[in-house]
A and B are shown apart, each in its own frame.
Chain A
Amino acid sequence: MALRRQSVVLGVLLAPVTLFLGIFFLLPLCIIAVFSFLTPGLYGGVEWTFYHWNYGRIFGWADGFIEIFEPVYLQILWRSLSFAALTVILTLILCYPVAFWVSRLSDRWRLVFLFLITLPFFSSLIVRLYAWLLILKPTGLLNTVLLNIGLISEPLEILYTPAAVVLGMVYVMVPFMFLPLYASVDTLDRAQIEASLDLGANRVQTFLKVVLPQTLPGIIGGAVIVFIPSVGNFVVPDVLGGAKGLMIGNLVEQQFLSSRNWPFGSALSMIIMAVVLTVLMVSVRRAKKVGGHA
């Protein structure tokens, strides 16, 4: 009796979120999945006939007549993945030592620092990226300073290069990497580090055998949280990227807005999702394997 009542209560409590996710997340997802197998309409929209060339265009079985296989799509996908991976690596390198430093601060300064880390969320992403545009452009802050102190003789071409895109993504993603890392570093048992040193492990051994495994859940968590939005990111390459910094997210955006090829855009979206899901599953499995915590 009590059990049934509990499940009724649970059902009532879960209904709103289930309904919300069902209507605004699952349903659109299904629509995208279906669209990716439909014929593009002449002036946008779809025609309800089965069509597999959307994927063919990307993976290479296009007929070369109606749809042409172009390796550029796979190249852009590969570029997006490598940009995202690079972003993960760079944010990790930036945040890992800082997490240790912050966890050793006094309570007061730690709070100040954590507030500073979340400060960027208080202003618009677009505004912050335009600030980078102003810094990086040939007559911008960076070049002016470097020219004036004589470090360079002509302005660096950073803006609208892949470097600018990765820089922008690292900037945007730093808080997302830092917070999970900090959480795992902060709960690290200092006594275990001492135990390791006491048992004859030098600092490198202690890091590899105790510190790294214990903070790995935080590293994996941060990596996943940074990687997923990075792969599909289109705002950063849009503002800082130019042609060579184009990522798959921009491609999707173009298909839906300017090219009006909804099915092709849907197919690209499905591919992003497949990649992201694979990464997620592999890392969750990995985290489970190492995270046998006491």
Chain B
Amino acid sequence: MAPLLEIRDARRTFLTPEGGRLAALDGVSLSVEANEFVTLLGPSGCGKTTLLRAISGFEALDSGTMVLDGADLSALPPFRRPVNTVFQSYALFGHMTVARNVGYALEVAGVAKSQREVQVAEVLEKVGLAGLGARRPGQLSGGQRQRVALARSIIAKPRLLLLDEPLSALDRNLRQQMQLELKSLQHALGIAFIFVTHDQEEALTMSDWIVVMRAGKIEQIGTPREIYRQPKNRFVAEFIGETNLFPVTVDRVEGGDALARTADGVELRLPVLGRKAGEQVTAILRPADFTLGPTGIPGRVSRAVYLGSDLYLFVQPQAGGPEIRVIARDNQDAREGSAVHLSHDPARVHVLEAG
């Protein structure tokens, strides 16, 4: 079956005020299946918003094709695309009531008022705003406005919903709650979501697929677990979560493991598969991959941050080199200045070829 949305080699260049050229989209290809939650993740200026605006029709592509449900999108103006958007600023109509905001898509499509009211009440119920239809957006809290924007964009049952950093204005607790609600809403509605964010935690929590972008290019597409455990390159590894990167030289292959060592002499054990003595690679270990124990890399705790159930440690290896970040259980006896040994399971190490 053909994917719901198929983007091929999308390119878009902007002129900067200084007269230079900036490739916001530099050959992006992406396909989205029906009922998937896809997140575009990347630092600001990576082209994720441009890609979203190209799909909604507010930005034209210089070249490339976009096909939605078998129909070429590029010839359609925004109001003819079966795609709706939740805007970052919400963009609620201030001069209309909440109910009229939510029913707007039906109103302009010519749906009868009585039918509209039924559907509006239904959708408001769905997003947890039942009974607030008579209010004006100005009388709502930030979280409620967010829900109105959401309700407004799903009432016409689009094939694809675009969300442009919709949670960025909310405080942390509300944001986490909305993340879970969005995910279950997406599941219940059966609409494909394309969600733009620069918040990697948000991306990991909600997505079926994460698309990591940088400088107009896609760096990696994968499930949250793939992106986190097997980043394709340094950029992805460093952008997603806390990471320890070790440029190492493989020393020798011994038994089930390959022994490798950094320029400073920190010793690591890598999965043996495909390793040859003498080659240079980058080993990636997440902070939680280390355990404090009697053996392993000797070091000294230079800083310990208490996180509740966990301890966040910065460990200076005895051999030298950059500090290693470690997340340990709080019940471990490690405080600033204490000597520790860090051990790790070779299977948890992800290896980037060519350090």
Contacts and interface: CB of A to CB of B under 8 A. Distances in A.
Given A202-B79, A209-B108, A294-B138, A195 B94 contact: no
Nearest to A292: B136
Contact of A199 (B77, B95, B156): B156
Interface string A198-213: 1111110110011001
B166 to A, nearest CB: 13
A171 B57 CA distance: 41
Given A196-B108, A198-B56, 9 more contacts: A192-B92, A196-B104, A198-B57, A198-B58, A199-B156, A201-B108, A209-B104, A290-B95, A293-B95
A271 B122 CA distance: 55
Contacts of A63: none
A199 B138 contact: no
Given A194-B91, A292-B136, A200 B105 contact: yes
B58 A195 contact: no
19 contacts: A189-B94, A191-B89, A194-B91, A195-B91, A196-B108, A197-B78, A197-B79, A198-B78, A198-B84, A199-B156, A202-B77, A202-B108, A206-B79, A292-B95, A292-B138, A293-B94, A293-B138, A294-B92, A294-B94
B109 interface: yes
Interface of A: 189, 191-192, 194-203, 205-206, 209-210, 213-214, 290-294
Contacts of B312: none
A195 B95 contact: no
A127 B73 CA distance: 58
Contacts of A214: 94-95
B192 to A, nearest CB: 16
A200 B109 contact: yes
B239 interface: no
Interface in B121-152: 136-138, 152
B108 A195 contact: no
A276 B91 CA distance: 38
Given A194-B91, A294-B137, A294-B138, A200 B108 contact: yes
Nearest to A203: B79
A201 B137 CA distance: 20
The 6 closest A-B pairs by CB, nearest first: A294-B138, A294-B94, A191-B91, A195-B91, A201-B108, A199-B105
B95 A213 contact: yes
A37 B83 CA distance: 69
B85 interface: yes
Given A199-B108, A205-B108, A192 B136 contact: no
A151 B327 CA distance: 88
Contacts of A213: 95
Instruction: Find the residue from A201, A214, A290 having the highest chain B CB count within 10 A.
Output: A201
Interface of B: 56-58, 77-80, 83-85, 87, 89, 91-95, 104-105, 107-109, 136-138, 152-153, 156
Contacts of B77: 197, 202
Nearest to A192: B91
A139 B259 CA distance: 102
B79 A198 contact: yes
Nearest to A214: B95
Contacts of B57: 197-198
Given A198-B84, A198-B85, A209-B108, A192 B79 contact: no
Given A201-B108, A292-B136, A189 B79 contact: no
Nearest to B56: A198
Contacts of A200: 79-80, 105, 108-109, 156
Nearest to B108: A201
A79 to B, nearest CB: 36
A205 to B, nearest CB: 5
Given A199-B156, A214-B94, A194 B138 contact: no
A294 B140 CA distance: 10
Contacts of B138: 292-294
Given A214-B95, A294-B138, A199 B87 contact: no
B84 to A, nearest CB: 6
Contacts of B108: 196, 199-202, 205, 209
B104 A201 contact: yes
Contacts of B87: 191, 194-195
Contacts of B136: 292, 294
Nearest to A194: B58
Contacts of A201: 79, 104, 108
B58 A199 contact: no
Nearest to B104: A199
A129 to B, nearest CB: 40
A199 B104 CA distance: 7
Instruction: Find the residue from B85, B89, B104, B137 having the highest chain A CB count within 10 A.
Output: B104
Nearest to A213: B95
A272 B200 CA distance: 67
A225 to B, nearest CB: 22
A294 B107 CA distance: 21
Nearest to A217: B95
Contacts of A290: 95
Contacts of A191: 87, 89, 91
A292 B139 CA distance: 11
